[in-house]
Amino acid sequence: MNLIFFVFLCFILLLIIIVLYLIFSRKTNTVKKEEIINVEKKQKEKIKISELPIPSKIESFSTSTLLKASTKIFDIFKAIDYANRSEHSLNKIEWHSWQVSILLQLLKTNYNLNVEVSKNNFHPFLYRMNKEEFLRQVDEILEKYVCEVNVKRTKDELCKDMLLSGREVSILFFLILNKKSLLK
C-alpha cells in the first residue's frame, strides 16, 4: 500500500511540475510576442519629411533649378491627365526615382510650387479621402521611397528605376500644393 501511495504522490508531483512549466513557458512566449510587437511599432515610426535622404545632386540644386524642374514634372503630370483616368489605370508604375526625388526635395525644402492648378488636375479619389487616410498614404509613399531608392546612384540609374504610380504621384503633388492645410 505504501508503494501505491508513493507512486501516486510521484505522479501528482510530476503533474504539478508539468503544469507549472506550461504556465511559465506561456508567460515567456507572451512576453516575447509583446517584445516583437514593440519592435515592429518602433520600425514603423513615421518618416519625417525633413530627414528624407535625397540624391546629393538634387540637394545641391539652386532654388530656381528645383522650382523649374518641379514645374516641368507638374506639366508632365497635367499632360498625362490622371484626373480623367480610371482608378485602376492610376496604379501603373510610371514615375522614376529621379522625378520623385525632385518632388520630395521640393517638399523637404518647403518651397511653394507656383503653378496654375485647378480641381480638374486631380483625380476625384483625392477629394474622397479624409485627411488621416491621405496622410497614411503619404507615409506609405515616403516609406517606399526610403526603402527602395538608393540615393547614391547616378541620375541615369535613378531615371531607369521606376518607383511610383500615377496614384502615388497624384498624392505627392496634392500634398505639395496643399501642404499648409494638410501638414498642420
Q: Give the model confidence (pLDDT) of 124-135 as tens digits.
A: 999 999 999 999
Closest CA to 99 of 84, 80, 83, 116: 80
Give me the mean pLDDT over the 1-7 stretch: 70
Does this model's pTM top 0.85? Answer: no
Contact 107, 172 (CB under 8 A): yes
pLDDT in tens, 50-99: 999 999 999 999 999 999 999 999 999 999 999 999 989 999 999 999 99
Q: Which pLDDT value is given to residue 60?
A: 96
Kindly state the greatest CA–CA separation across the chain: 99
Measure CA of the first residue to CA of the last residue in the chain; give whole Å: 82
Contact 132, 37 (CB under 8 A): no
Q: Does residue 2 surpass a pLDDT of 80?
A: no
Q: Which pLDDT value is given to residue 28?
A: 53
Give me the mean pLDDT over the 135-151 stretch: 96
Tell me how far CA of residue 161 lies from CA of 71, 78, 144, 151, in angstroms: 21, 22, 13, 11
Q: Does residue 42 surpass a pLDDT of 90?
A: no
Q: What are phi and psi of 2, to 5 degrees?
A: -60, -35
Between these two residues, 147 and 42, which has the higher pLDDT value? Answer: 147
Predicted confidence band at 23 (pLDDT cuts at 50, 70, 90)? confident
The DSSP code sequence of 104-163 is HHHHHHT--------GGGS-THHHHS-HHHHHHHHHHHHHHHHHH--TTS-HHHHHH-EE
Q: Which pLDDT value is given to residue 52?
A: 95
Mean residue pLDDT of the chain comes to 86
Report the alpha-carbon distance of residue 165 to residue 100 in Å, rounded.
11
